[in-house]
Amino acid sequence: MGLRLFEQLKQCIAAVSASLKRTIEHSCAICGISIDITQPRLCDACLKVLPRVRSNQLQQLCLCCSEPIAAQTEHGRCGRCLRSPPAIDRLYSVYYYRAPIDRWITQFKFHQDLPLAKWFAEQLVQNLLPSATQNIDSLLAVPLHPARLRQRGFNQSELIAKQVAKMLALPAPRGRIQRIRATAAQSSLPRQRRRSNLRGAFKVQGPLGNHVVLIDDVYTTGSTVNEIARHLKRHGVQTVQAWVIAHATRKESPEASGST
Ligand SMILES: [Zn+2]
Ligand SMILES: [Zn+2]
């Protein structure tokens, strides 16, 4: 009898400890190992290998496209952005769009994950210079076409924008930019055709203010944010920044990625 009671007690303790473990641990979003709930979404090993975008003594980043340029370049822009200035005035990107971030963002696109949106937003906010957040009138997410939104059920950029707006107490009005034409996936097109593919794809409506931030998950050639920035500027917006989680460098292959 005493032995049976002991076995029951043992099972009971095992069940309680398993459920306790579930509440104090979750799994790393990249490699899946169990981590403490107080940790961010990644284990220490995965956090260390994330491809963060950083300037150093030898190179700084082009203000408009984040391509590396020589540290002593005074104007802060790469040759391409000087020859043909993009419509956005400033790009802030936290990571390079490569493993394991690329796979992780793809997963995020197809599974609504609010804690992850919050984590991405935190990384983004920590990466901004204090001057970037001054005098912002609207924080706007790059929209999906309504058909795509219905299919996916949520807009990943909007999830991030909502969190960023909350953290920085900035206005994030919805519906100011609409995607009115479904376009071929940018990733399926050569670089030269990406801009024409987006012509007439967006509609912008006010009030927008003078200084706008566009939030997107990934920047590859920049054709999407620049097309929207051109529209915004035609509607009187003076400066447009793009804040993104990751960007593909020109030396890598943006054609291989799944975004714009
Ligand atoms: Zn991990
Ligand atoms: Zn540039």
CATH of the domain at 69: 3.40.50
Cβ neighbours of residue 45 under 8 Å, at least 6 residues apart?
Answer: 31
Closest residue by Cα to residue 219 from 186, 188, 248: 248
Distance of CA 231 from the midpoint of ligand 1 (Å): 41
The rounded percent of the chain whose pLDDT value lies above 90 is 51
Ligand nearest, relative to CA of residue 45? 1
In whole numbers, what is the pLDDT of the chain averaged over residues? 86
Ligand nearest, relative to CA of residue 78? 2
Residues 105 and 159 in one domain: yes
Residue 204: give the domain boundaries.
51-256
Residues 137 and 206 in one domain: yes
Distance of CA 254 from the midpoint of ligand 1 (Å): 26
Distance of CA 175 from the midpoint of ligand 1 (Å): 37
Residues 28 and 135 in one domain: no
Q: Is the pLDDT of residue 32 over 90?
A: no
Distance of CA 112 from the midpoint of ligand 1 (Å): 20
Structural element, H or E, at residue 95: strand 90-96
Ligand nearest, relative to CA of residue 32? 1
Residues 225 and 108 in one domain: yes
Report pLDDT digits (tens) over 156-208. 999 999 999 999 999 999 999 999 988 777 767 777 777 778 888 899 998 99
Is pLDDT larger for residue 158 or for residue 14? 158
CA 127 centroid distance within chain: 12
Residues 45 and 55 in one domain: no
Residues 167 and 247 in one domain: yes
- Residue 103: predicted pLDDT: 85
Q: Is the pLDDT of residue 252 over 90?
A: no
The rounded percent of the chain whose pLDDT value lies above 70 is 88
Q: 147 to each of 62, 105, 201, how far by Cα in Å?
A: 35, 21, 13
Please count the structural domains in the chain: 2
Closest residue by Cα to residue 229 from 217, 218, 216: 216
Is pLDDT larger for residue 112 or for residue 89? 89
Is pLDDT larger for residue 229 or for residue 15? 229
